[in-house]
Chains A and B, each alone.
Chain A
């Protein structure tokens, strides 16, 4: 913190009073390079290494077989065949995340708008109610929804009165419902943040000037809350794509998502290089999605910060 009042020779942003030296950020950067950068690098390196014939870990021999194994299966008789298992896993993850995003969006816009139009006191309480689940362990929330949708849970019991059988646990709908349940607040809050800033007199002005109700929604209200919608889509889709607990606890292992397969390869299956290749693929898909979202936001001129 010495280079404060002396004019610097290097083209560094000039210090203003109270602005610390950039050197202060070196320690956090070095730490994160070690604890975040290196693990990601290790995953990329491992994905090009061989699996040892026994035990866990990697054998330091370069290979691209792990990526090949994502699409092609080596049969015992030496022939090869196109393998759709892992493409299916990736597709499942993408598809579940998409449904989750769409459903949470459809419900969140009315909720966010409704909260934003309540009086101030009520609004604070309602926002707190939507925020509380943020602070509650996702594990416990997933467990909670499992208790509700279990065969012998309240829904099952109620339908049992009419002799209707209810059994969705340990199947794809349960996983998707769990994802929707867990990630819903992640969609409501950013949309609410945008809706709260919206001046409803604008909508009234448009209406008074002769716009139809739906025109007001389409031309005035939706563009105003679009930054919130874009943030919400990112905040739901990204974690849903890499989610582990919902498919594990609700899908019963029948509906594996990509995170479950990666975890399994680093656990029981003991195939770190293959798990790494799948992880690299997941990273690429996630980054592609981030680029798309940022592209959409930029084209619309919305300022959306994901980081």
Chain B
């Protein structure tokens, strides 16, 4: 897109088609709307008052409470274990699917894409109760293993998204050159395909991790009492008592999400 601003000057008056009346103010309003609730939560996480809505002075005591809460520690550990496992597994499956699907026949590809795409279209609650039914039917105990299986399944489409996009843009010349120079399929995969795909694989993995860590509904149904994840625990906290602790833990998670986003942005910029 051109960046030079050349307002049309016909019909006597200056008209800039890049600026429509009200667009700027609407945009600022929307940005304000998106961030005010988050800013409010962050500010009130430093409120010393026990009652959430009344400001009584600055304090970090709720952060101390959160950090010393063993239930939160356990839930965080569960979330990280499930999230990291599901990220590794779903990214691996996504790479395999992306490479294998390139040469698959139409019918097989259609079935595969329907299975991969289902979590993007079908309401999560439906898949969650179906997975609950599956685990009870085949005797998978409700816990971490089941959680990892369920999370891996719905993370695959997210991990696949950037990988497929990158794969479709790849220049075939290096592959042909390598093949002409005598590289076998395995060498091409290891030395050319995977390195060329690596930024997309990292982006896919980050996306999968974010989706897994944030997941509430599936974890709510499949976790079982021993393996409560952080979102399920926070949901319980919000439901039972609104202590400023919820604000503090939310702020910590906001910080974490921001760091992950900035990190992925920096990785991608470095690679370019």
A and B held together in a complex: yes
Could you tell me if B96 and A36 are in contact, using CB atoms closer than 8 angstroms? no
Main SS of the interface on chain B?
A: helix
Q: Which of A199-255 contact B (CB under 8 A)?
A: 199-201, 203-204, 207-208, 210, 213, 216-217, 238-239, 241-245, 249
Q: How far is the CA of A145 from the CA of B20 in the complex (A)?
A: 29
Could you tell me if B17 and A22 are in contact, using CB atoms closer than 8 angstroms? no
Q: How far is the CA of A290 from the CA of B179 in the complex (A)?
A: 42
Decide if A132 is an interface residue (CB 8 Å cutoff).
yes
Q: In the complex, how many residues of chain B place their beta carbon closer than 8 angstroms to a beta carbon of chain A?
A: 107
Decide if A282 is an interface residue (CB 8 Å cutoff).
yes
Could you tell me if A12 and B111 are in contact, using CB atoms closer than 8 angstroms? no
Could you tell me if B134 and A39 are in contact, using CB atoms closer than 8 angstroms? yes
Could you tell me if A148 and B100 are in contact, using CB atoms closer than 8 angstroms? no
Could you tell me if A144 and B103 are in contact, using CB atoms closer than 8 angstroms? no
Known: A144-B41, A263-B125, A307-B157. A272 touches B133 (CB 8 A): yes
Known: A35-B152, A238-B121. A110 touches B23 (CB 8 A): yes
Chain A contacts for B186, CB-based, 8 A: 1
Could you tell me if B100 and A40 are in contact, using CB atoms closer than 8 angstroms? no
Decide if A16 is an interface residue (CB 8 Å cutoff).
yes
Could you tell me if A21 and B254 are in contact, using CB atoms closer than 8 angstroms? no
Could you tell me if B116 and A32 are in contact, using CB atoms closer than 8 angstroms? yes
Q: Which of A119, A134, A207 contacts B8 (CB 8 A)?
A: A207
Could you tell me if A249 and B123 are in contact, using CB atoms closer than 8 angstroms? no
Chain B contacts for A37, CB-based, 8 A: 115, 118
Could you tell me if B156 and A28 are in contact, using CB atoms closer than 8 angstroms? yes
Could you tell me if B234 and A140 are in contact, using CB atoms closer than 8 angstroms? yes
Nearest CB of B to A96, in Å: 14
Could you tell me if B150 and A152 are in contact, using CB atoms closer than 8 angstroms? no
Q: Which of B238-259 contact A (CB under 8 A)?
A: 238, 246-247, 250, 253-254, 257-258
**Besides the known contacts A27-B93, A115-B27, 14 further A-B residue pairs in the complex with CB atoms under 8 A apart:** A15-B103, A17-B179, A18-B174, A20-B100, A28-B100, A28-B156, A39-B127, A139-B234, A143-B246, A200-B18, A216-B17, A249-B238, A262-B129, A276-B129
Residues of A within 8 A of B (CB): 1, 4, 11-13, 15-29, 31-33, 35-40, 42-43, 46, 57, 107-108, 110-111, 113-117, 119-120, 126, 128-141, 143-145, 147-148, 150, 152-154, 157, 181, 184-185, 188, 196-201, 203-204, 207-208, 210, 213, 216-217, 238-239, 241-245, 249, 258-259, 262-263, 266, 272, 275-276, 279, 282-283, 286-287, 290, 306-307
